[in-house]
Amino acid sequence: MASYGLDYAGPYRCAAAYLDRILKGEKPADLPVEAPTKFELVVAAKTLRPTAPLSLLARVTEEIE
């Protein structure tokens, strides 16, 4: 089993930066919209490790037992 998705901590850090800018006086309409830039590949070790190519395993962000 494998899952590929965005890093969930990233948007919270981005939201904090936006809030800081708004509290310092910038208008929310003037702030740029940012897309996620960091993604995670999470793999269930027991199901994928025996058959997965090394190039895929090298990209794994987190391995679940």
Q: Provide φ and ψ at 40, rounded to 5°.
A: -120, 145
- Its pTM surpasses 0.75: no
Residue pLDDT, tens place only, 8-62: 777 788 888 899 999 999 999 999 888 777 777 776 666 655 666 667 667 666 6
**Whether the Cβ atoms of residue 62 and residue 42 lie closer than 8 Å to each other:** yes
Residue for token digits 């901590």? 9
**Whether the Cβ atoms of residue 23 and residue 40 lie closer than 8 Å to each other:** no
Q: Compare 58 and 63 and report the one with higher pLDDT.
A: 58
**pLDDT higher than 90, residue 1:** no
Q: Which residues make beta-bridge pairs with 41?
A: 4
**Domain edges within the chain:** 2-64
